[in-house]
Amino acid sequence: MADVSRRRDRAQLLLVGALALAVVFLSLSLLLNSVIYTENLATRQTHADAERAQRLHTGVVGGLSGAIEYANGRDTASFADRRDAYQNATDALISTLGNYSATDGVAASVERDGLHEGTRIVGNDSSTGMVDRTGSGDWTVATDSTVRAFRLDVNVSSVDAGDDVRITLDDGTPRDVVVEDTTDGDSGDDARVRIESPGTDPTCTLSDGRIDLTAGTVDGEYCHGLADVLPMASGGLHPGLVPALIDALGTNIGVQAGGGVHGHPDGTHAGATALRRAVEAATAGESLETAAAETPELATAMEKWGTDSPR
C-alpha cells in the first residue's frame, strides 16, 4: 500500500507540474501575442501620424509658396504693398491650416518668422522675345544682386541664327553663357549652349531647352564649364592643416576633416569649433598660434595634431 500511495503522489506531482508548465506556456503565448499586437498597433499609429504630419507640411509649403507668388505678382513697385498682401493672405491661410490640422488629429502651430525685401531679376530687352508672365517684354533689371538659383526654359525652335542670348556670370570666375542656333537657316531645332571663359570655350547640345546654371546642367546632363567644380580635400585632415590647404587651393574648396573633427579630445562640437576658427584665421591672414591663444578648442587640436600632414 505504501508503494502504491507513493506512486500516486508522484503522479499527482507530475500532473500538477504539467499543469503549471501549461499555464506558464499559455501566459508566455498571451504575453507574446500582446507584444506583437502592441508593436503592430504602435507601428500603424506611427505611420498614420507621419502621414498626417506630411499632409500638414505639404499644405504649409504649398500655401505659403502660393502666397509669395501672389504678393510678388501684384503690379506694384512698393514692398509695403506686397508685404501687406502677403500678410493678409497668410493670416487666412494660417487659420485654415490650424483648423485643418486639428480635425486631422495633429496639434500644430504655423507662424511667420519675418519678412525681408528681396530683389527681382528680370530682362529689359523686348526684342529677344523673352517676356514676363503678363506678356510684357519691358522688364525691370536688378543690378549688383546675388541669386540662389538660375534656371532657363528655352523654346529651342525660337533660337534664331545671329540672334544669340548671352548671359554674363561672375561668381569668381567670369564667363558668358551663350544660347545660339547651330543651323545655317534663320531658325531651327538645332541649338547649343556655349560657355565663353578664359582659356576654354566648351559647348553642349540643347534639345529639350532646360538650362540650369546653378546645377551646371543642360537638359539634365552635366555641361562642362557651365558651373564651377568645387575641389574637395580629404584624408587625414585636421585644423592645423587649414592654412596649407588654402595656400595651395584657395578659399573655394571643401574640407572633409571627419577625423579632425570627431577625433577632437573634447568631442565633436569642440572639433567643429576648432576647424571653423582655423578657417577664419587662415582666410583673415591670422596665424593659427594667435587664434589658438583665443580659442581653447583650437589650442587642444593643435596640441594633439600639430600642423604637419599625417605620415
Whether residues 49 and 71 share a domain: the answer is yes
Whether residues 191 and 267 share a domain: the answer is no
Whether residues 225 and 245 share a domain: the answer is no
What is the C-alpha to C-alpha distance for residues 119 and 156, in angstroms, rounded to an integer?
28
Whether residues 263 and 294 share a domain: the answer is yes
Number of domains in the chain: 3
Whether residues 18 and 93 share a domain: the answer is yes
Q: Which residues pair with 194 in a beta bridge?
A: 178, 203
Does residue 118 form part of some domain?
no
Does residue 93 form part of some domain?
yes
Does residue 132 form part of some domain?
no
- Which residue among 210, 229, 248 closes a domain? 229
Dihedral sign computed on CA atoms, order 181, 183, 187, 190? negative
Whether residues 215 and 258 share a domain: the answer is no
Does residue 113 form part of some domain?
no
Does residue 81 form part of some domain?
yes
Does residue 121 form part of some domain?
no
Q: At a CB cut-off of 8 Å and minimum separation 6, what does 156 contact?
A: 189, 190, 191, 206, 207, 208, 209
- Which residue among 103, 118, 145 closes a domain? 103
Whether residues 203 and 238 share a domain: the answer is no
Does residue 65 form part of some domain?
yes
What is the C-alpha to C-alpha distance for residues 192 and 209, in angstroms, rounded to an integer?
9
pLDDT in the model for residue 261: 92
Whether residues 77 and 30 share a domain: the answer is yes
Give yes or no for a contact between 159 and 189, defined as CB atoms under 8 angstroms apart: no
Give yes or no for a contact between 177 and 169, defined as CB atoms under 8 angstroms apart: yes
pLDDT in the model for residue 299: 94
Give yes or no for a contact between 110 and 57, defined as CB atoms under 8 angstroms apart: no
> Distance from first CA to last CA of the chain, Å, rounded?
90
pLDDT in the model for residue 142: 55
pLDDT tens, N- to C-terminus, the chain (311 residues): 445 455 555 555 556 556 665 655 556 565 556 555 554 544 454 556 667 777 777 888 788 878 888 887 776 667 888 888 888 888 888 888 777 777 766 667 777 777 777 766 555 555 666 665 666 655 555 556 666 677 888 888 777 766 677 777 766 667 788 888 876 544 445 788 888 776 677 888 888 888 888 778 888 888 877 776 677 888 889 999 999 988 887 777 888 888 899 999 999 999 999 999 999 999 888 999 999 999 999 999 999 999 887 65
Whether residues 168 and 254 share a domain: the answer is no
Give yes or no for a contact between 169 and 176, defined as CB atoms under 8 angstroms apart: yes
At position 186, the amino acid (one-letter code) is D
Whether residues 7 and 86 share a domain: the answer is yes
- Which residue among 229, 262, 291 closes a domain? 229
Does residue 54 form part of some domain?
yes
- Write down the residue that cell numbers 582659356 correspond to: 199
Q: What are the b/e assignments for 214-230, b being 16+ CB within 10 Å? A: eebbbbeeebebbbeee
- Say whether pTM exceeds 0.85: no
- Tell me the pairing of strands 232-234 and 254-256: parallel
Sheet holding 210-212, edge to edge: 151-153, 210-212, 217-218, 221-222
Give yes or no for a contact between 287 and 294, defined as CB atoms under 8 angstroms apart: no
Whether residues 210 and 238 share a domain: the answer is no
The pair phi, psi for residue 152, each rounded to 5°, is: -125, 135
Whether residues 158 and 175 share a domain: the answer is yes
Domain, as residue range, for 169: 154-229
